[in-house]
Structures are given as structure tokens and as C-alpha cells.
Chains A and B, each alone.
Chain A
Amino acid sequence: MGKMLVETHHLVKDYLKPTRLRVLHGIDLQIERGSFASLIGASGSGKSTLLHVLGALDRPTEGDVIFDNVNLEDLSDDELSDFRNLKVGFIFQFHYLLPEFSVLENVLIPDLIHTDRESPEVRKRATELLDYVGVGTILDKSAGNISGGEQQRTAIARALINQPQLILADEPTGNLDSVNSDKVLELLHKINRELGTTILLVTHDRSLADKTDRIIELKDGKVIGDHLLK
């Protein structure tokens, strides 16, 4: 097992519509196992695009993503789906729970996607995770009827249920007030510390980035700064 969880080699991403636009200009990046890195940069600098390519939501135009010694280019679309299901946990600015399901059910969904059956052990783990993220008391509430902070915590629990190796968080606090956003960030630190999950956090907020291990700065699709803080 190598030291690096993710490596990119000269990642290029072009959008073809409306006109051809190069968003990532040859990114070479290495993310260490167990690290907590942040990705900062101006709006439009390509942060989300990079995150999506790293998380196998999108394929790069050129270059490679090597995740845990597997080149994502070699995977079929179905294998990429399974990869997203098992290896990464996404947390987005908009929380994206399924309002048709309860809080607990939302957390179970990634497991159901690959096992197709409910198991008491997973249910127990989901309950524990919801406790861990601080929403253990609203398990049976509909996910459509809870506050923004509660939704984001639930989304974090959902991202953790399949015990992913990497959490990709794209401005997870962008829609929260400062109290809630501090709590969510603390939670991510706790997850990184206690569960050892590697985290890549996209943020606008320099002060949030300062609390992470490493700050990667993007500008116009290029890495212009990469600082280790600890």
C-alpha cells in the first residue's frame, strides 16, 4: 500500500459546450492517506471540476487519476458507479438528501445500493453514525423536514456509511450559518482524526482552510500554491 491515496498525472479537463473551454490545465497532485487537505481558489478556478474528476463523477479529457493504485480510466461506467458507492463519500453544498426517505433511511441508501438488502448490522452502524454526527434523535423524521445543519450532518453520515477511503466535500458549509458551519467543520476534523478518513475540502473561506493540514490553491485551472501547515 503506497503512501498516496490519490495521484493525478497532468489532468486536463475541457468543456465543449457552449464553446470549448479548458478548465483544468494539467494538474499534478498527490493526496496522502489520512490527510486533511483543503482546496481554495477564486470562483471559476476549477475547484469543483477537479473534485468531480477525483471522485469519478466525471472523466478527465486528458491525464490520469490513480486512486489506491487503480487508474480510473480503466474502469467501465458501472465500475465507476461502484467506485463512487464504495470508495468515496461526497458532501455537497446543497445537502441532497432524498426527501421521500427518513433520516435513517437516507444514511442506509449507499449500503442498499450495493447490497440490496437491509441488514441489522448496517442499521446499527447507521444509527451510531447519526449519533456520532449529532443527529441521533431525529432518525425517523422525514429528510425533507429538518434544518439545514441537520441535513448536512445526515449527509455526512451518509457519506461515511460505506466506510470510504476518501471524503470529498465541496463547500459543505456554504449554506450554513457560522455556528453550524463551525460544528460541521469540527465534525470533519473528528472524522479525519478518529476514523482516519482522508478528506479533501473545497472552500472559499481562508480561515477554514487554515485549520487543515494542507492548502492547495487553484487559479485558472492550475495549482499555484501547495502549502503543508502541519
Chain B
Amino acid sequence: MKFDLKLAARFLIAGKTQTGLIFIGIAVGVAVLVFLTFLISGLGVDIIDRTIGNSPHITISREDRPLDFAVRDFQGRPVITEDASRTTRETIDEWQFIINGLIGDERISAVVAVADGPGFIIRGDLEEAIVIRGMDLDGADGIYDISFRVVKGSPDLIAGTILIGTDLSEKIKAGIGDAVQIRLMGEDPESYLVGGIFDLGVQTLNQRWVLMNRERAAYLLGFENGVNVIEAQVLEVFQSQYIAAEWKRILPFFKISSWEEANRQLLIGLRSQVSSSYTIQFFVLLAVTLAVSSVLAISAIQRARQIGILKAIGIRTKRIGRIFLLQGAVLGFTGSLFGSILGVALLYFFVSVSRTADGDPIVPVTVTVTGLAVIVLITTAAGTLAAYFPARHSAKLDPIEVIRNG
């Protein structure tokens, strides 16, 4: 094997123009491959992060659709219409138990119990339909990053204070320390102080969400210290539907849904992006394979004399094949190694020139060693495969032909 490798290397070095050209060809192809692969996966990660980075991946509730309500305009005032199933606000009495179970699942990264229900916020003669969200700050931070997203005031959810979104704050003209009233449909209003204003980056949430202490919200919503929704985030976002399905088996009487079910369109978009990336990878690899194959086919003819003499002096047939396979592998390996470096350099260049006004990269590209290793491995395999026919051709060569014809 060592000698075979030496022969392969010598043959490659001896045909330096050809070897050089094919090496550059592979390197350029792989550089494009690396660039596109990481760019596209960066884009995918970015889209996923923007879409579900700060929202629950798995939602557990008793109701059919906990957040399914509609805000309608009724004689100039907003009215929330509830569907029949919501009128019986079923709570999850064993929520503590479920939460402990979820925390014990190492695939799950964050869990929060929420007392969630519709209501109205009133300030002066301004009234807006809202969604009351009662949760612990710790849990809320795990998924929504509330502390980080409070732009004014304090994120502390002490009883009697609430956090409202930036858009709602503008609509009802309420700032930090201002008193507001909250009431449920057909009930008397209660007073609260605005303790903080958040910006969750999503307009509907900034307009509708009112965050408060969980116990307080439960009391307000008549849950008797219970919650009606449990939300969780998972480490591997694309695993959430499987994890949800597993938990459904443990908790058959609950409605357990994953973000994937709610975001079919986004998923289709992401998948088609990934498959377009695969298509590009496939064609780049095909081009590399064909190039290596044709160069080695020429090399096999040029080295016929050497092959013949090696066979005459006793090299076994299959080793001749191996020498050509090794040439393909060496070309694929070195070319893709160099191409990877080139591709990564290209990525860094791209990331450094394309930045937002804040100086952040437009696309957050993360180059992984594993990703590069996979590309190098696949290209090496493609190079080896490409050498198959030249290798077979050479191995079959009859030394006597060579010896007779000089």
C-alpha cells in the first residue's frame, strides 16, 4: 500500500500540468460547494431563528386551540369572539408534574407554564383587546427572552404590575408607572401599574400581549392557581414534532402541538432551500467526478508503458487498479482540502463585506469542521469513484503488448 501510494503520487507529480489543472478545478468546485452549503444553511438557521427562536416549539394544553380567538370590530370597539370550546377554560391541574417531566427530558431546553386568556386593557377612554399571559420570569426568559427584550422599566413580574408591548403602550398612551385597568369579558376591571415595556419583535405580540405574574393571572382568569398552557423549546428544532408525538403518548388527554405543524409553509420553504442546496452540491460533485475521471483516463493511457513494465516485473493486477484509485483519492482529498480553505476564505470575505447598518453580518454563517470534513470526505470518495474506470482499464492491460511495441 505504501508503495502503491508512492507510485500514485509520482504519477501525479510527473503529469504536473494535468494534475495542476485538475487540482485547481476540484478546488474551485469545492470552494463553491463550501461557500453555497454554509451560506444556505446559514440562511436556513437565520430564518428558523427569526421565526421560532423566541416562540414555543411545543405547546401543551387541554383546549383544542388555546390561542384561537378573533378580534372583531363591534360598533367602533374591539371585541373578542371566542369559540365554544374556550368558554370552558380547562386548566392543567397537574402542570407542575408535567413541567418536571419536561425538564427531565434532555432534548428540551426551556419550559414555561402559562395562564393564558383574553381580556381588555383600559386607560382613560381608550380600550384594547389583549391576551393576558401569566408566567414566571425565569420560564418566560427561557423562551421569550423577556428580560432582554424589556426596553423600558423593569422585567420583574411583581403582583400588581404588568409588562406591555411597545405598540400597546403607544396605542393606550401608557408609560412606565402609569395605572391601567384590565377586565375580562363581562367582569369588573382591576387596576395595575405598567412596570415595563417590551419589544418582542413581532407586532401582533407587541400589540396584544400583557404579561403578568402567573399567580395573579391565574387568579384573574379564575384558574385557581393553575395554568392552561405549557410551552417548551427543544434543542433540535426539527426534532420537535417527534418529541411532541412522544409526549402525546405519555399525555394522551392533552393537545400537544409542535411548531412544525403550525408552520407548514415555512417548512416547505426551508426544505426546498435545502434540496436546492443538495442539487447544487450534486452537480458540482458530478462535474468534479467527470473531470477527475477524464484526466485519469488520459493518465492511464500515458502510463501504459509503466503499467506494463510493473506488471512484467511482478506487481499484482489489483494493485495496478489501486494505484489509479489512489490517484483519484489523492486528487479528491488534496483538491477538496485546498478548496475548503478557499471556500471558507470566500465566506469570511462575504460575511465581512455584507453587514447590516449595525455592523452585524446579514447572514450569520457558521462554518463547522464537521461540515467541511463531510465535504472533503465526499469529494475524496467521488475522486476515488471517478478513478474506477481508468483503474479497471489499466489493471486489464497486457504487459506483453507494451513490451512488444516498445
Query: Chain A interface (Cβ within 8 Å of chain B)?
Result: 48, 52, 57-58, 77-78, 81-86, 90, 92-94, 96-101, 109-110, 112-114, 116-117, 158, 170
Q: Is the CB of B11 within 8 A of A81?
A: no
B306 within 8 A of A: yes
Q: Is the CB of A110 within 8 A of B403?
A: no
In Å, the complex CA distance between A94 and B309 comes to: 11
Q: Which residue of A lies closest to B2 (CB)?
A: A116
Q: How far is the CB of B397 from chain A (nearest CB, A)?
A: 13
- The interface residues of chain B lying within 8 Å CB-to-CB of A101 are 10
B314 within 8 A of A: yes
Provided the pairs A57-B400, A116-B1 are in contact, do residues A96 and B311 lie with their beta carbons within 8 angstroms? Answer: no
B residues engaging A (CB < 8 A)?
1-3, 6, 10-11, 13-14, 305-306, 308-317, 399-400, 403-404, 406
Please state if B315 and A113 are interface contacts (CB–CB under 8 Å): yes
- Give bound CA distance, A81 to B307, whole Å: 13
- For the complex formed, measure the closest distance between the CB of A172 and the CB atoms of chain B, giving whole angstroms: 13
Partner of A100, one of B11, B311, B399: B11
Task: Give the chain A neighbours of B311 by CB distance below 8 A.
Answer: 81
- Assess the A81–B317 pair: CB atoms within 8 A: yes
- Given contact pairs A78-B317, A117-B2, enumerate 11 new A-B contacts (beta carbons under 8 Å): A48-B404, A77-B316, A81-B311, A81-B317, A83-B314, A90-B313, A94-B406, A98-B10, A99-B306, A113-B310, A113-B313
Task: Name the contact of B14 in the complex, choosing from A85, A100, A114 (C-beta under 8 A).
Answer: A100
Residues of B near A81 (CB, < 8 A) are 311, 314-317
Contact of A113 with B306 at beta-carbon distance under 8 Å, contacts A100-B10, A101-B10 already known: no
Q: A58 CA to B309 CA in the complex, in Å?
A: 14
Min C-beta distance of A186 to chain B, whole Å:
24
For B399, list chain A residues within 8 Å (CB): 57
Interchain Cβ contacts under 8 Å between A and B, 24 examples: A52-B400, A52-B403, A57-B399, A57-B400, A57-B403, A77-B316, A78-B316, A81-B315, A82-B316, A85-B315, A90-B313, A93-B406, A96-B312, A98-B10, A98-B309, A98-B310, A99-B306, A100-B11, A100-B13, A100-B14, A109-B313, A113-B314, A113-B315, A116-B3
Nearest-CB residue, chain B, relative to A98: B306
Among A52, A94, A110, A116, the residue within 8 A (CB) of B314 is A110
Give Cα distance in the complex from A114 to B3, angstroms: 10
Query: Which residue of chain B has the shortest Cβ distance to A99 in the bound complex?
Result: B14
Task: Give the residue name and chain of the A residue nearest to B317 (CB).
Answer: A77
Chain A residues with Cβ below 8 Å from B3 are 112-113, 116
A110-B400 contact, Cβ under 8 Å, with A96-B305, A100-B13, A100-B14: no
Q: Which residues of B contact A78 (CB under 8 A)?
A: 316-317
CA–CA, A96 to B310, complex, Å? 9
Task: Provide the bound-state CA to CA distance between A100 and B308, in Å.
Answer: 15
A44 to B311, CA, bound (A): 24
CA of A114 to CA of B317, assembled, Å: 13
Determine the main DSSP class of B at the interface with A.
Answer: helix
Are B400's CB and A85's CB within 8 A? no
User: Inside 8 A of A158's CB, which chain B residues have their CB?
Assistant: 313
- Give B388 Cβ to nearest chain A Cβ, in Å: 20
A109 touches B310 (CB 8 A): yes
* B313 A100 Cβ-Cβ under 8 A: no
Q: Is the CB of A84 within 8 A of B313?
A: yes
In the complex, the answer to whether B306 meets A114 with C-beta atoms within 8 Å is: no
Return chain A residues, CB-CB under 8 Å to B404: 48
Q: Which residues of B are found within 8 Å of A82, using beta-carbon distances?
A: 314, 316
Q: Are A58 and B400 in contact (CB under 8 A)?
A: yes
User: How far is B305's CA from A78's CA once the two chains are assembled, in angstroms?
Assistant: 20
Which residues on the B side are within 8 Å of A100 (C-beta)?
10-11, 13-14, 306
Q: In angstroms, how far is the closest chain A Cβ from the Cβ of B4?
A: 8
Instruction: Indicate whether A90 sits within 8 Å of B400 (C-beta atoms), given known contacts A96-B305, A99-B14, A116-B1.
Output: no
Most interface-central of A82, A96, A109, A110 (chain B CB within 10 A): A96
Residues of B within 8 A of A117 (CB): 2
Least Cβ distance of B310 to chain A in Å? 7
Residues of chain B with a CB closer than 8 A to A114's CB: 314
Residue of chain B at shortest CB distance from A144: B14
Partner of A84, one of B6, B312, B317: B312
Cα–Cα, bound, A52→B399 (Å): 10
The 6 closest A-B pairs by CB, nearest first: A85-B314, A96-B309, A100-B10, A84-B314, A112-B3, A100-B14
Using Cβ atoms and an 8 Å threshold, which residues of chain A touch B310? 98, 109, 113
> Cα distance A170–B404 when bound, in Å?
10
CA of A191 to CA of B217, assembled, Å = 106
Q: Are B314 and A86 in contact (CB under 8 A)?
A: yes
Say how far B3's CB is from chain A's closest CB, in angstroms. 4
Bound complex: CA of A48 vs CA of B309, how far in Å? 16
Tell me, in angstroms, the Cα distance from A98 to B312 when the chains sit together: 13
Chain B residue at minimal CB-CB distance from A95: B309
Pairwise interchain contact B312-A90, C-beta atoms closer than 8 A: yes
Chain B nearest CB: distance from A188 CB in Å?
18
Q: Contacts A99-B14, A117-B2 given: A110-B317 contact, CB under 8 Å?
A: no
Point out which of B13, B306, B313, B400 has the most chain A C-beta atoms below 10 A from its C-beta. Answer: B313
Residue in A closest to B315 when the chains form the complex, CB atoms: A113
